[in-house]
């Protein structure tokens, strides 16, 4: 069995002893299939000596597997938002020299990873996690963004997260890897495409978790591509452009200069769309990532995308 893997009865006993129960509000669904947890670790393939960031450590089942995989010189930074589970983890694993346990939220608001998490994981780490569904999309987007800002010397708390291996809802996996023209395509699809590449892993059925969720899940690995990311002149300008474009995804993108006048200079946006080779009659979901990159870079070159 995978090192540290807990059975359902063991997880139940740990929670009962601590007078805890799974909290739906926090997306607490514990992975109880040893075979699938082994596949998650294999997909991530962390090396001895690496720092691994785990978000949503739960009862520490995956944490122990990662500690064993990274031994003897690597370390695990485990983050758990639930105070009760944090106390349970500290009792079980708090003496491990190569474990840093953070009891708190992984995100500082919706658009930033918590500075204490980045400081603990930095300067470079890989993410391996059975992610709580509610934070999966913003966490992965911010992990990629933080890595870009770290590489460009503009990160408030430098931390390069160059490999992200997670279990997420199938719907989230579809959004992260969607191509232009697909219904699931959106801002996060563009970011993943321009900053890295996604590898679809095994499906994870509801019965692999306790409590059993109502939806299927999927393993996914995203590898940050520094060379591709280096072609983005200013990530913040790109993200503002994407937010504005997809705010009304059914409208023609040619109406964007008028629609985003409160945050971006209309004339600059119109010129940028033209420079990006974007058909003004196209809907936002039909525009390929590369065209958005070229348009955002045009905004920066004109110094009008701020």
Query: Do 279 and 256 touch, CB atoms closer than 8 A?
Result: no
| Total Cβ atoms within 10 A of residue 102 | 21
CATH 3.40.50.150 domain residues, the chain: 8-229
Confidence band, pLDDT 50/70/90 cuts, at residue 234: very high
Confidence band, pLDDT 50/70/90 cuts, at residue 306: very low
Q: What's the pLDDT score for residue 304?
A: 47
User: pLDDT tens-digit profile of 115-135?
Assistant: 999 999 999 999 999 998 889
Query: Do 168 and 176 touch, CB atoms closer than 8 A?
Result: yes
Mean pLDDT of 149-175: 97
Instruction: Please state whether the predicted TM-score (pTM) of the whole model is above 0.85.
Output: yes
Q: What's the pLDDT score for residue 71?
A: 86
What span, in angstroms and rounded, lies between the C-alpha atoms of 292 and 101? 39
Unique residue bearing structure tokens 């990530």: 235
What span, in angstroms and rounded, lies between the C-alpha atoms of 50 and 104? 23
Burial of 51 (0-12, 13-18, 19+ CB in 10 A): buried
Tell me which of 23 and 167 has the higher pLDDT.
Answer: 167
Q: What's the pLDDT score for residue 264?
A: 82
CA 261 to chain centre: 30
**Architecture of the domain made up of 235-301:** Orthogonal Bundle (1.10)
Q: What is the CATH number of domain 8-229?
A: 3.40.50.150
CATH 1.10.8.100 domain residues, the chain: 235-301
List C-alpha distances in Å: 150 to 124, 146, 157, 161, 235: 10, 6, 8, 9, 12
């Amino acid at each position: 069995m995978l090192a540290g893997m807990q059975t359902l009865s063991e997880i139940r006993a740990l929670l009962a002893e601590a007078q805890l129960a799974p909290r739906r509000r926090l997306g607490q669904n514990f992975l109880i299939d040893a075979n699938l947890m082994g596949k998650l670790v294999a997909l991530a393939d962390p090396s001895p000596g690496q720092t691994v960031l785990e978000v949503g450590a739960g009862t520490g089942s995956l944490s122990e597997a990662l500690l064993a995989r990274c031994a003897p010189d690597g370390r695990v930074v485990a983050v758990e938002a639930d105070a009760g589970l944090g106390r349970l983890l500290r009792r079980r694993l708090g003496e491990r020299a190569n474990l840093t346990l953070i009891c708190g939220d992984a995100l500082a608001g919706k658009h930033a990873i918590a500075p204490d998490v980045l400081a603990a994981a930095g300067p470079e780490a890989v993410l391996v996690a059975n992610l709580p569904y509610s934070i999966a999309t913003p966490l992965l987007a911010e992990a990629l963004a933080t890595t870009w800002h770290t590489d460009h010397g503009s990160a408030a708390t430098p931390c390069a997260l160059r490999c992200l291996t997670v279990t997420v809802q199938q719907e989230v996996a579809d959004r992260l890897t969607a191509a232009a023209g697909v219904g699931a395509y959106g801002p996060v699809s563009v970011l993943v495409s321009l900053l890295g590449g996604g590898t679809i892993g095994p499906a994870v059925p509801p019965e692999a978790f306790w409590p059993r969720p109502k939806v299927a899940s999927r393993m996914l690995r995203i590898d940050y591509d520094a060379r591709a990311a280096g072609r983005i002149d200013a990530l913040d300008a790109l993200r503002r452009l994407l937010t504005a474009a997809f705010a009304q995804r059914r409208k023609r993108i040619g109406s964007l200069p008028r629609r985003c006048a409160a945050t971006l200079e209309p004339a600059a946006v119109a010129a940028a769309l033209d420079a990006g080779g974007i058909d003004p009659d196209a809907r936002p979901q039909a525009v390929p990532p590369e065209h958005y990159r070229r348009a955002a870079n045009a905004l920066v070159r004109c110094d009008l995308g701020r």
